Amino acid sequence: MSILKGACLIGQSGGPTAVINASALGCIEAALKSDAVTRVYGAAHGIKGVLDDRLYDLNLEDPKELSLMMNTPSSVLGTCRYKLRDFLVDDTEYRRILDIFEKYNIRYFFYNGGNDSMDTCSKISSYLSQHDYECRVIGIPKTIDNDLACTDHSPGYGSAAKYIATTCMEIYRDSTVYDTGSITVIEIMGRNAGWLVAASAIATYKGIGPDLIYLPEIPFDMADFISDIAKVYERKGDVLVAVSEGIKDKNGSYITSYFTDDTKETDVFGHAKLGGLAANLANYANAKINAKVKGIEFGLIQRCAAHVASETDVREAYMAGADAFKAAEAGETDKMVAFERGPGPGYSCHTTLIDLVEVANVEKKLPREWINEAGNGLLQPFIDYALPLIQGECTIPMVDGLPRFAKLKKIYAGEK
């Protein structure tokens, strides 16, 4: 196999995570060291930065400052939620992308994101190869939602899960401290897959977590919800509930839509915008069971809480980026880096490669057999799956009692 000489470009896309920059760093550091790579660029705000010809010259950054990306949450290069059209319908943007790739002689392209980003990555890969432009295209997975197909888990999930489990333990302690009776509802992210809300079950496994957990995989019924709560309230006097923002009834309607018109709003990918569910469900419960009620929405903190990131997740995220570059350097293209769990009782994890078309736009749901029969709690196989992913605490560089995040110079290619 011949060595492909040229520049390397990395872009970040989709919602932030606590570890997306660890992945970017793994890829950037490997690229900066490689003899095949003439220059390393970062796209400002993902594919939008390519279309706008806004590429940061990462060779001009201080390597020490770059290394702080390891514990800096939320895309250092900027992100976007931008869907490329099908190039068979309109290839204007693809021609623009090809122009930019030619202008900078980009031969290594890495796109760091979730489902939608792998779709973008796959389309660009196809277009370039159909136009005989040699470029190795590798997707680097990232999503707190853990819903990417063909990978044991995704970088970002372990840290979000650790935040959720830790905070649920703290909230359990807080919400059960009075002797007056309480119903507390926590709303956790996850549009269609319940991986995030399921992470609250790790706190329950530790004896201080939600009594009831509702996932988007299981049709949600308001009457069952009230009856579930009433049973726990009767027995314990305090009820802690975790619900996914994406719970739906048996007809597929979001429960959020029972309370608001918010679901009519959609993002650019046509996904319904969600939110406000915890407070509404808590109020609804209060009308049926008279207790002190509270709704808590974890909101975007759950995806950017680097201060409680999983060391395992950070390390694996870096590995995903580094292995993406190694694979490209070795001649691979049109793939996504995936995680495979090693056999045996101890936990181990290594990377493998999957065809981009296999993962693009596919959502991985929680297996039904990991959820209890009543559909309001998780079983041991889920704990066995998730527990290794939240292990270890990061040593974050601190200044004045606060984390020191990476501050890049961000000099555009072509600028002085």
Catalytic residue positions, numbered: 145
Residue 300 neighbours by CB under 8 Å, 6+ apart: 16
- Strands 136-141 and 335-341, by their bridges, are parallel
Query: Whole-number minimum distance, CB 206 to a copy of itself, in Å?
Result: 6
CB-nearer residue toward a copy of itself: 177 or 374: 177
Alpha helices in 289-335 (DSSP H): 301-304, 311-329
Query: Whole-number minimum distance, CB 401 to a copy of itself, in Å?
Result: 4
- Identify the CA nearest to 13 among candidates 53, 48, 54: 48
**CA angle, corner 310, sides to 29 and 116, nearest 5?**
65
Query: Whole-number minimum distance, CB 358 to a copy of itself, in Å?
Result: 28
Determine the straight-line distance between the first and last CA of the chain, rounded to whole angstroms. 37
Backbone torsions φ then ψ of 354, nearest 5 degrees: -125, 145
Backbone torsions φ then ψ of 344, nearest 5 degrees: 90, 170
Q: State the DSSP H helix or E strand holding residue 230, giving kind and residue range, or none if neither.
A: helix 222-236
Report d(CA 137, CA 27) in Å as an integer. 13
Query: Helix, strand, coil: what percent of the chain each, to 5?
Result: 40, 20, 40
Query: Whole-number minimum distance, CB 342 to a copy of itself, in Å?
Result: 19
Query: Whole-number minimum distance, CB 408 to a copy of itself, in Å?
Result: 12
Report d(CA 16, CA 156) in Å as an integer. 9
Residue in the block written with tokens 């709003």: 265
Query: Whole-number minimum distance, CB 94 to a copy of itself, in Å?
Result: 21
CB-nearer residue toward a copy of itself: 203 or 320: 203
- Strands 349-355 and 335-341, by their bridges, are antiparallel
Report d(CA 153, CA 151) in Å as an integer. 5
Query: Whole-number minimum distance, CB 403 to a copy of itself, in Å?
Result: 7
**CA angle, corner 149, sides to 248 and 198, nearest 5?**
45
Query: Whole-number minimum distance, CB 402 to a copy of itself, in Å?
Result: 6
CB-nearer residue toward a copy of itself: 58 or 296: 296
CB-nearer residue toward a copy of itself: 49 or 216: 49
CB-nearer residue toward a copy of itself: 126 or 280: 280
**CA angle, corner 160, sides to 250 and 328, nearest 5?**
105
CB-nearer residue toward a copy of itself: 79 or 122: 79
CB-nearer residue toward a copy of itself: 178 or 414: 178
Q: Which long-range contacts (CB under 8 A, 24 or more apart) does 299-303 make?
A: 299/275, 300/16, 301/163, 302/144, 302/160, 302/163, 302/164, 302/167, 302/188, 302/189, 302/196, 303/15, 303/16, 303/17, 303/18, 303/73, 303/74, 303/144, 303/156, 303/160, 303/189
CB-nearer residue toward a copy of itself: 96 or 206: 206
Report d(CA 92, CA 12) in Å as an integer. 22
Q: Which residues bind a copy of itself (CB under 8 A)?
A: 16, 44-45, 48, 72-75, 78-81, 162, 165-167, 169-171, 173-175, 177-179, 202-203, 206-208, 276, 279, 294, 296-297, 299-301, 303-308, 310, 312, 387, 390-393, 398-403, 405, 407
